[in-house]
Structure 1
Amino acid sequence: MLKLLSALSRSQRAYVFLGIDLALIPAALILTYGVQVLPTSALETLRVSLPILPYLLLIAAALSKSLGLPNIQLKAYERFGIGLTALYALGLSVALAGLSWIAGLKLPIGTHVIFGLCYFIFVVAVRIVLLQVVTAMYRRAEPRSRVLIYGAGTTGTQLAQALSAHDSIDPVAFVDDNTSLQGMLLAGLPVHPPARITQLVRDRRISRVVLAMPSLSPPKQAQIARRLQKMGLEVQVLPSFAQLIGEEALIDKLTPVAPQNFLGRKSADGGLEKACQSYVGRSVLVSGAGGSIGSELCRQIMNCRPTRLVLYELSELALYTVHQELTHLTEGMGVEIVPVLGSVTDARQVRKVLADHHVQVVLHAAAYKHVPLVEANPLPGLANNVLGTRTLAREASAAGVERFILISSDKAVRPANVMGASKRMAELVVQDLATRHAETVFTMVRFGNVLGSSGSVVPLFQDQVSRGGPVTVTDVRVKRFFMTIREAVQLVLKAGAVAQGGEVFVLDMGKPVPILQLARQVIESAGYSVRDEVNPDGDIEIEIIGLRPGEKLEEELTLNGDLIGTRYQKIFCTHEKHLSEIEVASLLRGLRQALASGDEGAARALIARWVEGYGENGAGRKRL
């Protein structure tokens, strides 16, 4: 039957409705005559009326077609369709009265009124019955999604009413935290406490949950959604009325608070000043040019108008992105942009690039910097960060490069992890070259965590907030130095300009910032509150997850604590003891052997031997 109904065209369905409506006319006449006290019986009165019945049917067909009544879909047959039916029944009553008068039938006026009422009731009733029958057939033929509505407020009950007539969705029940609603029937559905969700899902075969609580904060909605998704349920969120009518369009365009707003001190942003003189008119190579630091180095160097900027990058996507951006920025500046796809560990390619483009300044920002990833993959981290630095620095010296600036990290000072140790080993390599190759100025720049860089803590916290939390902090005692990307890059370029060779430059970054405090600031800057013992109804919780392997409570900036001022107020340098040429050669030989054999234990032992302070806080030593 369902296949037959589905095969009917729209015009064919209209004729079916028209036929049903015409067939109801005799039935309405019989009922009309039967409920009245007439001189003759109902059947006799109908027999006498038979001569006018064909004319009445013709008039009914014409009137129905003109009103468009057969073309109204069953599911759309509401107030408008009922109104047309009433007008149609009134027209037939008038037609019956006129035909009866012409035929000489002496029927009371009330007969025509009752006929109109009976016919109206018949047509409406048949439409309602047909709708229920057809809906039941479709529901039986196609599986329906059984839905649980989370939230029994006004929005939830309106949703239940709207879904009750849906072809493929079957609302089953409500759940709500409001104890005053639990146990009630709303929109024909029972209201249950959230604790019964598991039982409801199992007993009522529920596959989807709709969160109908638009007034609830997004973090709390996200928390509920994640809890339900872990149960294997599909979760959908009903938007607020403001979102539906577009009032919240502006909110979609708002961006998270800029990371530099969490610096906790005045930004040391004084411009490059005279530092640009060291880069103007020169051919500059930036390794790791597609990274957070590397790309900002490129942007600021552009302001110094070098003749050529070589973008050396391992990631194709990162290289493409930064090249596209800089190409637009350099229009009309006369600066040649050269994208080079390759690794700094490839000595032959490095040598060719330096020679072909007559590189005079190298800014080495290429490195694996994410502590947990390098800790889990120590050999690739050491190969890239140590041997890559060795290759690029040695080839730069051989090519007669004027300046070589290594981007280092405060994690290189008494490191507790492989990443920090690899940066310290890179520093030792550069310090060794600085003592033996006076024609190239080798220097290092060491700074703390860069706010807003890829993988840094603020974007991580903001992402966790957007997902409803929790925001994870490793330890309540953890503190870090922070600086902005702009500050970090200015430090690099200024240090490169004043370097004499072999120094380590650091920035005065003020006092270290507690990470727990930073987490609170990120949550509150997003407009939410912290959920803790003091505020159990807050939006987002801060979860303490414990120190990760290789993580320290606090970082340091220098090994000896001695800082020497420079001509830049916020920039200091320090001269730290370094290994001899023989010791560096031994270090590199041992590292190559460990890499060749894939021996992580040997690599860690090598770090412990040559890197001062490695594992002193216990984080590194436990892994040996």
Structure 2
Amino acid sequence: MLNRILGWSRAAKRLVVVGLDVCLGLMAMWLAFTLRLETPHWPEGLQWLAYALAPALAFPVFAKLGLYRAIFRYTGINALITTGKAVALYGALLLGCLLVAQWEGVPRSVGILQPLLFMLLVGASRALGWLALAGRSRHAPYRLLIYGAGSAGAQTAAGLGNTRQYLLQGFVDDDPAKVGRSINGVRVHAPWDLPEVVRRQGITDVLLALPSTTRERRRQIIESLHELPVRIRTLPGLSDLASGRVTVTDFQDLEIEDLLGREPVAPDPGLLGRNLAGTVVLVTGAGGSIGSELCRQILREGPRQLLLVDHSEYALYAIHHELRALVPHGSAPDALVPLLASITDPERMADICRHYRPGSIYHAAAYKHVPMVEANAGEGVLNNVFGTLNMVRVALAHGASHFVLVSTDKAVRPTNVMGATKRVAEMVLQAVAASPRPPFGPSGDAPAGPWICPTRLSMVRFGNVLGSSGSVIPLFREQIAAGGPVTVTHPDVTRYFMTIAEAAQLVLQAGAMAEGGDVFLLDMGDPIQILDLAQRMVTLSGLTVRDARHPEGDIEIVFTGLRPGEKLYEELLIADNPLPTDHPRILRAREEYRPWDELQGLLHALHQAARGGDAAAMARLLHQLVPGYHRERPQALP
């Protein structure tokens, strides 16, 4: 019956509520007369005018104050306050009319009694409607605890009362003063009681309503929930609670930063914008994971012009469309310039730099997926090595003051073509920065004294980026949502991880600290075991891992074996000689490289081999160029 009523049109529902209020107004009038005359009442004579006056006054007042636009299932304290205001205004009008009219047989006290009774009846009708609709949630598929009994938790609970997906079973809070008390009839539990509460009440989800807590405390709470068979969700923030209503679409999976296992590295504001404010900045690979985040952060620092370079039309369109909304009002029309171009086209890149004269270049364009580059080694070499060489060439030719290469931990003792090409790209920057004479152009152009590279060339090395297109995090989430299995290459594989924001900030700060030929890297703490990460994501989704010890589990983890060129462990340093920088968590390394005079001959041969598709020659030259490069033999699964 209730579902049938909810299926009515909005006009039909509104008509029913108006009819109900008319009936309640007449009932309140009858009760007022009965109480005043102290006997059951039947209207006579002019008393009928009082009965007619009640709905005639109530309807326009209620309509004007929006009572017939309200939705019963969202009835709350604000709606009841509005109802009280409407009835008070109506009562004042009714009393005024009765005092002026002086109808025979109509006591003036009815003008006070009837509005009071009417307010009780109308308020009760709204409350009963809300209870009837809220009762439908008793069969909700998800049983929820809210971790956090503060204002965010209370607002969330108020909104959840209107949903059919979740049935709120309680709050959890660290504050001993709140434990044992209740919020709107819902009990607040202590954190140490969680296992028992989850078991006894069949909890399926825990919602973190802690928008202002520290990242460290969030991680401690998540760790404490790790072994419980519940899915952990989070709120996007207090701004999303402003409406006072929360639906299932407002809930999110845990933020990627919550999976990091360490506190994100805070940027140094002084370093972050040192080379950006009021300058022309160029970002290659602007549509990629790192490039797009670089563009967002650069735009916040107020560059005079930001040049977005990408060879993917859609990626360039997407980031340009997004950033246009972030450009400060009143900026020049050409403050944001999308440039469809490939870094492997030296003429096109030279034209761009000749026309716009960028002061800082952030080179994020690269082929980075290990198996893809392994299967297309020639394209990987041309893009990662010679695309970088092209960019260095045009940076020097057109007066860029800073050039930063986005590199990878896979460049350290590489076991795959992608890592080897990135290490060669690093060596190009190191060799050019240290060259005693101009590396490009006739030797006769060299000045009499020692030549100093006019562009500060530097490179930034970091590990896997959480949430990027190449990260395992999105893949694991898709696999978990599909019911598994979750695929891990090897039980012992480990990786360093950082957030996209950390990676972009590291690149920008490194550019500000560059002296020439620097290799920068982030102190990323301990590496994370991928198997642990997969298990953690399964359990935090409220599911269990299916294995030999738990055959009844939900999600199976399958080991697929290392891919071609993949290794078990990644490193950030070739030599063990990191030096401190102006940022306490950023290190500088000066690693061995080949002088430019020696390097350029090998680069020429590598270019010929890549253009000709000679895989054997490319492999031989990469081995010759990069000490320590060797193909990793796949590890046998235990």
Corresponding residue SS for 1:504: strand
**Cα distance, 1:617 vs structure 2:** 4.7
1:344 paired with 2:343, answer: yes
Distance 1:619 1:425 in 2: 24
The aligned residue for residue 449 of structure 1 is: 464
Which one-letter code corresponds to 2:343 in the other structure? V
Over the matched positions of the two proteins, sequence identity in percent amounts to 47
The aligned residue for residue 486 of structure 1 is: 501
Distance 2:403 2:467 in 1: 26
The aligned residue for residue 573 of structure 1 is: 588
Distance 1:536 1:307 in 2: 60
**Cα distance, 1:602 vs structure 2:** 1.2
Give the alignment's TM-score, normalised by structure 1: 0.58
1:422 paired with 2:437, answer: no
Distance 2:634 2:515 in 1: 35
The aligned residue for residue 521 of structure 1 is: 536
Which of residues 319, 342, 358 is equivalent to 1:322?
A: 319
The aligned residue for residue 266 of structure 2 is: 269
Distance 2:422 2:359 in 1: 24
Tell me the number of residue pairs that the alignment of Structure 1 and Structure 2 aligns. Answer: 376
**Cα distance, 1:534 vs structure 2:** 2.0
**Cα distance, 1:331 vs structure 2:** 3.6
Distance 2:311 2:585 in 1: 33
Q: Deviations for 1:65-96, whole angstroms, at most 9, x for unmatched residues? A: xxxxxxxxxxxxxxxxxxxxxxxxxxxxxxxx
Which one-letter code corresponds to 2:594 in the other structure? L
Distance 2:267 2:594 in 1: 36
Corresponding residue SS for 1:311: strand
Distance 1:575 1:278 in 2: 22
After the TM superposition, which residues 349-388 of structure 1 pair with which residues of structure 2 at under 5 Å, given as runs?
A: 349-388=348-387
Q: Deviations for 1:109-131, whole angstroms, at most 9, x for unmatched residues? A: xxxxxxxxxxxxxxxxxxxxxxx
Corresponding residue SS for 1:557: coil
1:475 paired with 2:490, answer: yes
Distance 2:247 2:485 in 1: 26
Distance 2:471 2:315 in 1: 17
Maintained 8 Å contact 2:412/2:423? yes
Distance 1:362 1:602 in 2: 32
The aligned residue for residue 69 of structure 1 is: none
Distance 2:513 2:496 in 1: 24
Maintained 8 Å contact 1:478/1:515? yes
**Cα distance, 1:533 vs structure 2:** 1.8
**Cα distance, 1:526 vs structure 2:** 1.7
Q: Deviations for 1:535-574, whole angstroms, at most 9, x for unmatched residues? A: 2111101111111110111011011021101110100000
Which of residues 332, 344, 348 is equivalent to 2:329?
A: 332
1:496 paired with 2:495, answer: no
The aligned residue for residue 558 of structure 1 is: 573
Distance 1:262 1:596 in 2: 42
Segment drifting more, 531-540 vs 310-319: 531-540
Which one-letter code corresponds to 1:425 in the other structure? V
Distance 1:517 1:511 in 2: 13
The aligned residue for residue 431 of structure 1 is: 430
After the TM superposition, which residues 393-404 of structure 1 pair with which residues of structure 2 at under 5 Å, given as runs?
A: 393-404=392-403
**Cα distance, 1:257 vs structure 2:** 2.5
Q: CA separation of 1:380/1:554 partners in 2, compared to 1, >3 Å: closer, same or farther? A: same
The aligned residue for residue 161 of structure 1 is: none
Distance 1:395 1:376 in 2: 30
**Cα distance, 1:592 vs structure 2:** 1.4
Which of residues 276, 286, 290 is equivalent to 2:287?
A: 290
Distance 1:609 1:406 in 2: 22
The aligned residue for residue 164 of structure 2 is: none
Q: Quick check: which has more Rg, 1 or 2?
A: 1
Distance 2:295 2:480 in 1: 32
Maintained 8 Å contact 1:414/1:616? no
Corresponding residue SS for 2:308: strand
The aligned residue for residue 275 of structure 2 is: 278
**Cα distance, 1:380 vs structure 2:** 0.6
The aligned residue for residue 121 of structure 1 is: none
Q: Deviations for 1:153-204, whole angstroms, at most 9, x for unmatched residues? A: xxxxxxxxxxxxxxxxxxxxxxxxxxxxxxxxxxxxxxxxxxxxxxxxxxxx
**Cα distance, 1:269 vs structure 2:** 2.3
1:533 paired with 2:548, answer: yes
Give the alignment's TM-score, normalised by structure 2: 0.57
Segment drifting more, 300-309 vs 325-334: 325-334
The aligned residue for residue 256 of structure 1 is: 253
Maintained 8 Å contact 1:449/1:483? yes
Distance 1:333 1:383 in 2: 41
Corresponding residue SS for 2:549: coil
Distance 1:296 1:269 in 2: 16
Distance 1:288 1:522 in 2: 30
Distance 2:248 2:315 in 1: 30
Maintained 8 Å contact 1:260/1:452? no
Maintained 8 Å contact 2:344/2:383? yes
Which one-letter code corresponds to 1:356 in the other structure? H
1:586 paired with 2:601, answer: yes
Distance 1:291 1:587 in 2: 30
Which one-letter code corresponds to 1:295 in the other structure? S
Distance 2:519 2:293 in 1: 21
Distance 2:633 2:262 in 1: 32
Distance 1:580 1:333 in 2: 48
After the TM superposition, which residues 290-309 of structure 1 pair with which residues of structure 2 at under 5 Å, given as runs?
A: 290-309=287-306
Corresponding residue SS for 1:277: coil
Which one-letter code corresponds to 1:357 in the other structure? Y
Distance 1:527 1:538 in 2: 11
Structure 2 unaligned segments of length 5 or more: list them.
1-201, 205-245, 436-451
Corresponding residue SS for 2:512: helix
Distance 1:583 1:616 in 2: 24
Corresponding residue SS for 2:325: helix
Maintained 8 Å contact 2:565/2:631? no
Q: Deviations for 1:436-485, whole angstroms, at most 9, x for unmatched residues? A: 35211000000000000012111111111111111011111111000001
Q: CA separation of 1:333/1:297 partners in 2, compared to 1, >3 Å: closer, same or farther? A: farther
Distance 1:512 1:545 in 2: 21
Which one-letter code corresponds to 1:364 in the other structure? H
**Cα distance, 1:595 vs structure 2:** 1.9
Which protein has the bigger helix share?
1
Q: Deviations for 1:296-354, whole angstroms, at most 9, x for unmatched residues? A: 00011111101000000010000000001111100416260010001011111111111
**Cα distance, 1:260 vs structure 2:** 1.7
Corresponding residue SS for 2:621: helix
Which one-letter code corresponds to 1:352 in the other structure? D
**Cα distance, 1:252 vs structure 2:** 5.3
Distance 1:549 1:429 in 2: 26
Which one-letter code corresponds to 2:349 in the other structure? V
Distance 1:536 1:557 in 2: 39
Distance 1:523 1:587 in 2: 48
Distance 2:493 2:419 in 1: 17
Maintained 8 Å contact 1:345/1:384? yes
Maintained 8 Å contact 1:268/1:487? yes
The aligned residue for residue 391 of structure 1 is: 390
Distance 2:513 2:267 in 1: 16
**Cα distance, 1:359 vs structure 2:** 0.7
RMSD between aligned residues: 2.1
The aligned residue for residue 479 of structure 2 is: 464
After the TM superposition, which residues 66-145 of structure 1 pair with which residues of structure 2 at under 5 Å, given as runs?
A: none
The aligned residue for residue 53 of structure 1 is: none
Q: Deviations for 1:119-157, whole angstroms, at most 9, x for unmatched residues? A: xxxxxxxxxxxxxxxxxxxxxxxxxxxxxxxxxxxxxxx
Structure 1 unaligned segments of length 5 or more: list them.
1-214, 218-248
**Cα distance, 1:511 vs structure 2:** 0.3
